[in-house]
A and B are shown apart, each in its own frame.
Chain A
Amino acid sequence: MTTSTEPSPSTPPTSTSLPPTALKAARRILPPAVTGQERVLVVILVVLAVVLSVATPAFRTAGSWQPLLSSVAPIALMGVGMTMVIIAAGIDVSVGGALMVTAVTTAKLLVDQGASLPLALLAAAALGLVLGTVNGLLIAYGRVNAIIITFGTANLFQFLGRQIFASQTVNGIPGTLELFGRGEAGRTFGLPHSFLLTLLVAAAAWYWLRHSRPGRHLYAIGGDPTAARLAGIRVQRLTLMTYAVTGLLVGVAAVFTVASGTSTLDQSVGSGRELAVIAAVVIGGTSITGGRGSVLGTVLGALLVQTVASGTTQLGWPSQLSDFFVGVAIAIAVGADLVRQRTRRAR
């Protein structure tokens, strides 16, 4: 019988004390660590990197991939929050607008108040948290449709951002944020700090979604919110949390964005970023209908989206081709999800 190889209830579940057979069984009882789609993404990324390296030798230089990783950081970071939102069958199309508000506020704080790095980071994160909480309250407790209300708040946030810009670019941003910038001070072992911090957050979120009680509950909410409520899950509270966390991460992403730019910030900041973020999440294998997904996929998706954009530029191809490739990738990802759901229903 298979039961003999399973750990008995008295066996401590810590992996160090398990005999090899039980260890194997214990690993098998976890949700799969890496999904098929994520493996495919890794392969595509490797192939893409090799092809680009051969086609344009410039791609191999640090001057090429360092900015690439810097540009991945804010997308992937916001993607972490968006993954939680979409797993719980929600969506947030206001992250672009929220990024604009937090970025311009941060820039003004630096220029006008001479804020320090910790203060700027704290202020941006707090502001992002507030914006995300507004979305979350409306959706979780006001029970309004997520796509419509965040579309509304997106416009609202853009209006706020423009008011703060007051029709002018923010000039003379000091180098306070150089720790997250594109200069030498922004890197350790050649890797941008923004990217490293993003990886750290993503790893924590990945573990949390996989192993924590509330993390697993997000999947239940996305699967069937009514059944989740009947199972005693705090659906509203957790839903609110996903939007709040997304807002918080948008705030940090805004710091990265301000830090990685020049000393001026113009009104186009954040514009269209929500699409890049949602693209990364969907390409990463998170089901747009909820109930399924992982942060690892989102990080890979963000890498793919930005590599394609960077590669298209470096090959000297017209930039709209990058949109085309991303569009194809989304179509394939959604198609794969659809095929999976159909084959399951056909049983």
Chain B
Amino acid sequence: MEARLELKGVSKRYGGVRAIRHADLTVAPGTVHAVVGENGAGKSTLIKIVAGAESADTGTMAFEGAPVSFSTTQDALAHGIQTVYQEPQLFAELTVSENIFVGREIVRGGRVDWAAQHARVIELLDTIGLPARYATRPVGDLSIAEQQQVSIAKALAGNAKVLILDEPSAILTDAEIDVLFAVVRRLRDTGVSVIYISHRLDELFRICDEVTVMRDGETLGTWPIGELTVRKVVELMVGDALQEGGDGSTARSVPDGEPRLVLESLASEGHFDDVSVTVRPGEIVGLYGLVGSGVAEIAEVVYGMRQATGGRILLEGREISPKHPRAAQALGIALLPANRKAQGMFAFQPISFNITVSHLPLMSRARVWVDRRRETQVAKDMITRLAIKTPSEAQPISMMSGGNAQKVVLARQLVKRPRVLVLAEPTQGVDVGAKEEIHKIITALADEGTAVLVATSDLSEALRIADRLLIVRAGRTTREFPPGASQADVLAAAAGADEEVPA
């Protein structure tokens, strides 16, 4: 049968970074085709090229046998290539019906034909398993999962021939995933080709027909799902299956001692249900989970940005429940937030301000005015200590590279030595060299006696830095790995293949 979509020899560069070296992708009509790979393997870039949001540097693309080249998303839409992104692109104040038809309303005599739209919307809602009465609800009143279903309905209204689902299950509960899969199967049976992006590998075996694996910007090949297992997919994704994650040289000896931070069956409704972790002074404990597993929110609860709805947090044996970051700070807990730009940086302010802003009482004379000399001194100390590359402490942080900016944000947490340091995605968007240095800083802190908890969805980082690694899956801490566990074992456990992993 003729392929619905065929990409050959596609490559894409962003500045000096090669996001895709060489990718081939052939999607047959009426199939569900998974594209998998680790973060940074090039999946999202490939999807953007198919959706017309980016154009490839080299290579060819054919749609139903005819060569095509998309320079805008509109070009792709015109061929019936619809994308449902992870974040719903909907208008909260408009009704479900209006959202589905926005931009292509049915107009009669200069007036929107509400009745005709409504009738079609009810059909679509039926297809995706939402009640008809939802048609007239403002989208802002729906849950995130329902909003995603509306996004799919919206894509279907445009007569999709290829439907790209980008991590559709990341924000859904199990019951909602069942509904999603039912919808996807129904679409496949009507001849739609579905390109399915997911980190949860166990899902692929429930829904997909073929799997294309990407690693380091290259497609390794496409396999029918019947020839694969979760274990096999993982091995393809991480490459050399025998390569050990920890290379041995970094194995640290952790002093025994009373636990400093204990999370007991901690829960935060809608994010995670049962997380139990113990961190001793001087120890680095890693929490590894896929995007959407709840791992990012755990850090926020410990730092008081989010409230726990169950379980306990113990700091040196004493139960605490920080209500806001200030309270957590006072207890000696520091956080390096996941979203540096939104949660960590004062972009237009100089480095010195960014470092000292949380510690102004320390910088002040008589707690009234800021002692500029002391502020500069502290900033200079930190710049030296963390090897921050900058001509001066007066440089605005927005002019720095990701890695250096992250060091500045980290420096702020280190002005007073924290008893507990919580890091969420500490090296996201940071280049390799800076990554190494940040890891060294974290290790040095632990050596000085700080209890460190690292929440990350970066597998190699989790393996490299943690003395003990806990897997967070579907909101629960499941397995624990010692340093030196293999990438394949850890990823398989996080992606949902316990049963296949030899104990």
List chain A residues, Cβ under 8 A from B103: 217, 220, 228, 231-233
Please give me the residue from chain A that is nearest to B91 by CB atom. A223
Please give me the residue from chain A that is nearest to B108 by CB atom. A13
Return the contact of A216 from the options B98, B126, B131 (Cβ within 8 A): B98
List chain B residues, Cβ under 8 A from A213: 105, 107, 112
Bound Cα distance A182, B280 (Å): 83
Q: A292 to nearest B CB, angstroms?
A: 5
Is A8 interfacial (CB-CB < 8 Å)?
yes
A1-50 contacts to B, CB under 8 A, are 1-3, 6-9, 11, 13, 25-26, 28-31
Is A224 interfacial (CB-CB < 8 Å)?
yes
- Beyond A223-B93, A232-B77, A344-B141, list 9 extra A-B contacts (CB 8 Å): A6-B119, A7-B119, A13-B113, A13-B116, A213-B105, A216-B102, A219-B94, A220-B91, A227-B91
Bound Cα distance A73, B187 (Å): 55
List chain A residues, Cβ under 8 A from B104: 232
Is A211 interfacial (CB-CB < 8 Å)?
yes
List chain A residues, Cβ under 8 A from B114: 13, 26, 29-30
Please give me the residue from chain B that is nearest to A32 by CB atom. B136
Please give me the residue from chain B that is nearest to A291 by CB atom. B93
Is A61 interfacial (CB-CB < 8 Å)?
no
Q: A29-B97, A219-B91 are in contact. Are A7 and B115 (CB under 8 A)?
A: yes
Please give me the residue from chain A that is nearest to B118 by CB atom. A29
Bound Cα distance A219, B91 (Å): 8
Bound Cα distance A226, B87 (Å): 13
Q: B19 to nearest A CB, angstroms?
A: 21
Bound Cα distance A224, B103 (Å): 13
Is B135 interfacial (CB-CB < 8 Å)?
yes
Bound Cα distance A217, B143 (Å): 24
Return the contact of A13 from the options B89, B97, B115, B131 (Cβ within 8 A): B115
Please give me the residue from chain B that is nearest to A233 by CB atom. B103
6 contacts between A and B (CB under 8 A): A13-B113, A29-B118, A217-B103, A230-B73, A231-B89, A232-B104
List chain A residues, Cβ under 8 A from B93: 219, 222-223, 287, 291-292
B135-156 contacts to A, CB under 8 A, are 135-136, 140-141, 143
Chain A residues proximal to chain B, CB less than 8 Å = 1-3, 6-9, 11, 13, 25-26, 28-31, 211-213, 216-217, 219-220, 222-224, 226-228, 230-233, 287, 291-292, 344, 347
Number of interface residues of B (CB under 8 A): 39
Chain B residues proximal to chain A, CB less than 8 Å = 73-74, 77, 89-95, 97-98, 102-105, 107-108, 110-120, 122, 126, 131-133, 135-136, 140-141, 143
Let me know if A3 and B110 touch, CB within 8 A. Answer: no
Return the contact of A29 from the options B73, B115, B131 (Cβ within 8 A): B115
Bound Cα distance A235, B90 (Å): 16
Bound Cα distance A30, B118 (Å): 9
List chain A residues, Cβ under 8 A from B95: 31
Bound Cα distance A8, B120 (Å): 9
List chain A residues, Cβ under 8 A from B136: 28-29
A-B pairs, top 4 by smallest CB distance, nearest first, are A231-B103, A13-B115, A223-B91, A232-B103
Return the contact of A220 from the options B102, B111, B126 (Cβ within 8 A): B102
Let me know if A211 and B91 touch, CB within 8 A. Answer: no
- Scoring B74, B89, B103 by chain A CB atoms within 10 A of each residue's CB, the highest score goes to B103
- Scoring B117, B118, B143 by chain A CB atoms within 10 A of each residue's CB, the highest score goes to B118
List chain A residues, Cβ under 8 A from B108: 13
List chain B residues, Cβ under 8 A from A28: 136
Bound Cα distance A286, B104 (Å): 25
Bound Cα distance A116, B381 (Å): 78
List chain B residues, Cβ under 8 A from A220: 91, 94, 102-103
Q: A6-B119, A9-B120, A13-B115 are in contact. Are A216 and B89 (CB under 8 A)?
A: no
Q: B51 to nearest A CB, angstroms?
A: 11
Q: B77 to nearest A CB, angstroms?
A: 8
Return the contact of A11 from the options B92, B105, B115, B141 (Cβ within 8 A): B115
Let me know if A212 and B111 touch, CB within 8 A. Answer: yes
Please give me the residue from chain B that is nearest to A223 by CB atom. B91
Let me know if A7 and B118 touch, CB within 8 A. Answer: yes
Let me know if B92 and A227 touch, CB within 8 A. Answer: no
Q: A6-B122, A29-B115 are in contact. Are A216 and B135 (CB under 8 A)?
A: no
Q: A181 to nearest B CB, angstroms?
A: 35
List chain B residues, Cβ under 8 A from A212: 110-112
Let me know if B91 and A291 touch, CB within 8 A. Answer: yes
Bound Cα distance A345, B274 (Å): 25
Let me know if B111 and A211 touch, CB within 8 A. Answer: yes
Let me know if A347 and B119 touch, CB within 8 A. Answer: no
Please give me the residue from chain A that is nearest to B83 by CB atom. A230
List chain B residues, Cβ under 8 A from A31: 95, 98
Bound Cα distance A8, B118 (Å): 9
Return the contact of A3 from the options B89, B90, B122 (Cβ within 8 A): B122
List chain A residues, Cβ under 8 A from B105: 213, 216
List chain B residues, Cβ under 8 A from A344: 92, 140-141
Let me know if B89 and A227 touch, CB within 8 A. Answer: yes
Bound Cα distance A13, B423 (Å): 58
- Scoring B74, B105, B114, B133 by chain A CB atoms within 10 A of each residue's CB, the highest score goes to B114
Please give me the residue from chain B that is nearest to A87 by CB atom. B93
Let me know if B111 and A3 touch, CB within 8 A. Answer: no
Q: B85 to nearest A CB, angstroms?
A: 10
Please give me the residue from chain B that is nearest to A1 by CB atom. B132
Let me know if B112 and A216 touch, CB within 8 A. Answer: yes
- Scoring A11, A26, A30, A226 by chain B CB atoms within 10 A of each residue's CB, the highest score goes to A30
Let me know if A230 and B141 touch, CB within 8 A. Answer: no
List chain A residues, Cβ under 8 A from B111: 211-212
List chain B residues, Cβ under 8 A from A233: 102-103
Q: B314 to nearest A CB, angstroms?
A: 29
List chain B residues, Cβ under 8 A from A9: 116, 119-120
List chain A residues, Cβ under 8 A from B113: 13
Bound Cα distance A222, B122 (Å): 26
Bound Cα distance A297, B116 (Å): 28
Bound Cα distance A28, B141 (Å): 17
List chain B residues, Cβ under 8 A from A226: 89
Please give me the residue from chain B that is nearest to A22 by CB atom. B115
